[in-house]
Amino acid sequence: MIIPPHVLSAARQIDTAGYVYDLDILRSRLSQIEDALPLKRKHIHFATMANDHTNVLATIAETGHGVFVNSPLHLRLALSSGVAAKQTIYAASNMSGSEMRMCLNVGVHLVLDSAGQVASLDAIAPTNTPVGIRVNAGSAIEGPSLALEASYRFGLLADEVDAVQRSTRNLRITGVHCYFGTDILDPRTLLDGLDRLASIAVLLPDLEYVDGGGGFGIADDFDSPAFDLAAYGRGAAAIIARLEERLRRPVTLIVEPGRWLSAPIGWFFARVIDVKPRADRILAGVAASVVQFPRMLLHPEKARHPCEIVDGRHRLPAALPVWVTGNSTYSRDFLARGAALPNPKVGDLIAFHNAGAYCRSMRTRFLGKEDPEELFLHAPDERRPLVDAFANAAQ
Ligand SMILES: Cc1ncc(COP(=O)(O)O)c(C=O)c1O
């Protein structure tokens, strides 16, 4: 995967380490996903946990799409970046009464995680408040295909749904939601989930939408085939069409991609400071830490980022694998493990791809490192001030 020249010229300004994002790539990916869903009624809600920078959120707002948030902080960031409350889905588990009240005041659409949470909101919501429910329709968190675990921590069980929807006085349950896992590369897994979700959706007399969550994968290496978005779109349209036919009413499809939309918009760059040749590997020490680029810290077994030495393509590959090490005393401070790179040299700039998702949003204070520099290309010009509705409601 070639790094665009304008991204590279921005990266060359980075002294030690930092992120470069190109928001035109985000715009293009939003159009791709929109075009790939051949449905009349569809909404794309970017999952802000993937990237919570206000430039990213302002780009989502500028393109007219919505967001999916799961915390007051992300709600505030989204609203202050220009996302409309009515285009915001707020879902969390174990929401407190004050969190629910704040959401009602701001006017976001809430998705509730349990029978107890439905009862709590029903007790304080105005009449006729539309909400969604998260249901347990299976999860592929632990393996490549969906498994239905009754003890899974999220959502209502399918056999709780009817009683819950009959029990509400003020709430109208207009949607079902499920999240099947992250980084799923086979669209059939997500479609299987969507189909299961649709079969639970028929239990809701007020149904207006089905929210199939995120999970659209980005392969960790450039040789693996990309997620087949067109196949997902065709399959999803067929599932929604069957549901509409069965219910004789229009149904909207909602998706909440995080990684697929934002991973390829960003790169992390780090300068080589020290090189240690070892018997079985080369240690390339950079002026950055895994805490600043933390997907590998949180998911050491799974997460990988393709990486390359900038301007190093003409150099021969090193005879040994390269381990990119961080500038701390933490023994697992690795930004890459066993990478196939040319022999690293002091002063080289290493580029890590797919750094736009679950990187800046996962930074941690562990090890006491500064937040790395972030450069944004093609950012929206106009930034809107904090929306008063949130500031007032949040008090
Ligand atoms: C409910 C929900 N929706 C969407 C997402 C985004 O997922 P992904 O980045 O895998 O698309 C997440 C991520 O955790 C989530 O919890």
Helix (H) or strand (E) holding 273: strand 266-277
3-state secondary structure of 24: helix
Cα–Cα distance for residue pair 321/302, rounded to 1 Å: 18
pLDDT, tens digit, 9 for 90 and up, residues 255-291: 999 999 999 999 999 999 999 999 999 999 999 999 9
pLDDT at 383: 46
In the chain, the domains with their CATH numbers are: 23-261+384-393 (3.20.20.10), 263-377 (2.40.37.10)
Residues of the chain with pLDDT below 50 are 383-390, 394-395
pLDDT at 300: 86
Going from the C-alpha of 34 to that of each of 62, 216, 291, 356, 379, the distances in angstroms are 15, 14, 34, 20, 21
pLDDT at 131: 98
Any ligand 1 atom below 6 A from CB of 181: no
Please report where in the chains the tokens 């285009």 appear, as a residue.
87
pLDDT at 391: 53
Cα–Cα distance for residue pair 94/92, rounded to 1 Å: 7
Cα–Cα distance for residue pair 395/106, rounded to 1 Å: 11
Torsion of CA 166, 172, 174, 176, to 10 degrees: -50
pLDDT at 163: 97
Shortest CA distance to 212 belongs to which of 146, 120, 298?
146
Contacts of 108 (CB under 8 A, 6+ apart): 69, 75, 85, 86, 88, 89, 90
Any ligand 1 atom below 6 A from CB of 264: no
Cα 212 to ligand 1 centre (Å):
10
**Ligand 1: which atom is nearest the Cα of residue 134?**
1
pLDDT at 386: 44
Cα 49 to ligand 1 centre (Å):
7
The strand pair at 349-352 and 307-309 is best described as antiparallel
Any ligand 1 atom below 6 A from CB of 259: yes
pLDDT at 141: 80
Residue nearest to atom 7 of ligand 1 (CA): 214
pLDDT at 79: 98
